Amino acid sequence: MSLQDRPIFQHLWAYAILAVLIVFVLFPLVFTFSQSLMTNQEVNRWPPPLVPREATLANYQQLFTQPDLKLDIWLRNSLFAAAAYTTAVILICSPAAYAFARLRFPGNNLLFGLLLVTIMIPSQVTLIPNFLLMRDLKFLDTFHALIWPGAANVFGVFLLRQFFQQIPAELEEAAILDGASYWGRFWHVILPLSTNALTALGIFVFLGHYNDLLWPFITTSSLEMRTLPVGLQVLNSSYAGQYRPLVLSGAVFATVPIVLVYIIFQRRIIKGVTLTGMGGR
Amino acid sequence: MSNTTGTIPTSRVTGQATSRFQLRMRTREALAAYLFLTPFFAFFLIFVVRAVVQAVSMSLYDWQILRPGQVYVGLGNYQELMNDYVWWISVKNTLVFMLITVTGTTVVALAAAVAVTQPIKGQGFFRVVLYMPTLLSVGVVSLIWVWLLSSQYGIINYFLSFVGIRPVNWLGDESLVIPALSLTTIWWGFGFPMLIFIAGIQGIPDTLYEAARIDGANSRQLFWYITLPLLRPTLLFVTVTGVISHFQVFGQPFIMTVGGPGRGSYTVIYYLYEIAWRAFRMGYGSAVAVSLAVIVASFTAIQFRLIGRRVEY
């Protein structure tokens, strides 16, 4: 066996690509974490130090004592709003998807066509009208504004409809013989068989909401109602100039929960993302 | 129904009863369907259909939030937009950003996917780590990269100094700021298309590769003549979703550069935000939003025609 034929050498190019990409991905994260443990003086130095001379948690302490920063509340707001929004999307979209996938009714094609048309329209078109509606309903600066406007998620209906259609009809027929109602068939037969699709949609919708910046920025105003992405913008605009490591520690603080969740559920998340991606084609 | 009970052959009377029974079942089914659809369509009508209609109608008014009565101006807002140089700067910046980001993301994601699907060790590890940045929020990503790209203390400039490149003012130079934001976005976003490509590659039958290998094809030929042609539908999906999502870029310029330097990183959504929530011109802002929708929709249509036709081979 020559050197060239050994598997490790045969795929050397693959390892090379992956090594470069791993450094590309990890270096900014590790560097940010490392510099978040430095003093203000040490960070503003040339060449940029990679490892703190003396690691300090002072920046993290500052993060929670500055009166204009409320990272714990922002994180809580983000998690709560995203969770409530995800629940709303699943409860509202899954019955609609079941009707489109399994039930015969006049106007089926017409209504589904309407959804198809709107998926081409970028959501920013609805930004101004929905903002004005929130204002008129006195929903500005409340969780209502963060939860309801996006609850009719067209993509969610598409994905679930496609998944429901693949479930064999025989499984539902058993329930029909038992005299189950339409709701019973949906709730006790179809939904339990769709946990994969529901989790996938849930992850997708949750992350999308958790990452949103513009909508929470315009609909919230008080320090106590900001979400994490909005709060990080506040942190950056007030401290980037004179206190960089504080900004970096804020970035790390916002990263840790999501990375922890990711490490625990990575298999499910990756499978889910692939499923939603394929569902979107 | 009468067959399953196994009694007398169907007479005219029972036939009518059966069809009436079926009709009733049909009605019940339709009724159930409408009930299932009601919650969704209630939200859909209020927050999507009404909003889109209102956006179009508002774009015909000089609609200012701090004024009680609104003035009808017909297509005046659109005429103003056509002559608004900031709008055209924003469109140009957004197009350049989108082109660089979609190209970069697709190339990096494809390279990662092809490498990760080789029979190598640590596949799972590579996939998990490479997807990680995609989970971060735009706030975190912006805070990290604004510092990496800093002109004074930035680590990127430090690395470039090794190859003799003098400090570059990435975010302060009008001609570099968009590529810098693109680089940030490629780092952030290539994980999703990577997973889609991985799924696409795994869907290609192994027999094709085996046959080509028997014919003496090497890795590069396998990629150009099997993987890439068969990935065309996936490529279409990745580029279409990429074009649509990157055309809507907002957070990176908003946090990292505040649209600057000058108007060097104004994007369409950033300009929309500024018109509607800084200048409070909601009518003009609606015209921007509607124009954005027209641009995005035509992009999607063009792309589907271009690549879609070649998908059938």
Residues of A whose CB is below 8 A from B244: 122
DSSP B72: E
Of A26, A98, A124, the CB nearest to B248: A124
Which pLDDT score, from 0 to 100, does residue B4 have?
43
Which pLDDT score, from 0 to 100, does residue B9 have?
46
CB of B187 closer than 8 Å to CB of B133? yes
Give the minimum alpha-carbon distance from A40 to chain B in angstroms, rounded to a whole number. Answer: 12
Per-residue pLDDT of chain A (281 residues; tens, 9 = 90+): 455 555 566 788 899 999 999 999 999 999 999 999 998 888 888 888 888 888 889 999 998 988 889 999 999 999 999 999 999 999 999 999 999 999 999 999 999 999 988 877 888 999 999 999 999 999 999 999 999 999 999 989 998 998 898 888 888 888 888 888 899 999 999 999 998 889 888 888 888 898 889 999 999 999 999 999 999 999 999 988 888 999 999 999 988 888 888 888 888 778 777 776 654 43
Give the helix/strand (H/E) hosting B83: none
- Cis peptide upstream of residue A47 (ω within 30 degrees of 0): yes
CB of B136 closer than 8 Å to CB of A31? no
B-interface mutation test, from A104, A125, A253, most B Cβ less than 10 A away: A125
Closest by CA to A38, choosing from A64, A60, A56, is A56
Which pLDDT score, from 0 to 100, does residue A7 have?
58
Closest by CA to B98, choosing from B208, B223, B271, B249, is B249
For A276, name the nearest residue in chain B, comparing CA atoms only.
B196
- Report the Cα A196 to chain-centroid distance in Å: 17
CB contact under 8 A, B132 and A259: yes
CB contact under 8 A, B233 and A281: yes
d(Cα B55, Cα A133) in Å, to the nearest integer?
Answer: 12
Backbone angles phi, psi at B281, to 5 degrees: -95, 85
CB contact under 8 A, A277 and B237: yes
- Cis peptide upstream of residue A149 (ω within 30 degrees of 0): no
User: In the 3-class helix/strand/coil scheme, how is B21-64 assigned residue by residue?
Assistant: HHHHHHHHHHHHHHHHHHHHHHHHHHHHHHHHHHHHHHCCEECE
Which pLDDT score, from 0 to 100, does residue B273 have?
96
Residues of B whose CB is below 8 A from A150: 47
- Judge whether A258 is closer than 8 Å to chain B, CB to CB: yes
CB contact under 8 A, A124 and B269: yes
What's the token pair of residue B115?
């490498």
What CATH number should be reported for the domain whose range is A68-227+255-279?
1.10.3720.10
- Judge whether A70 is closer than 8 Å to chain B, CB to CB: no
Structural Rg of chain B based on CA atoms: 28
C-alpha distances (whole Å) from A188 to each of A176, A181, A182, A247, B28 are 12, 10, 10, 49, 19
Give the minimum alpha-carbon distance from B215 to chain A in angstroms, rounded to a whole number. Answer: 17
Run means of pLDDT, 10 residues per run, chain B, 313 residues:
42 63 85 94 95 94 83 90 95 96 96 92 90 91 94 89 89 94 96 91 88 87 89 86 89 93 94 94 94 88 66 38
Enumerate residues 36 to 65 of chain A having a beta carbon within 8 A of any beta carbon in chain B: 43-48
Provide the pairing of β-strand B61-62 with B71-72: antiparallel
Which pLDDT score, from 0 to 100, does residue B74 have?
86
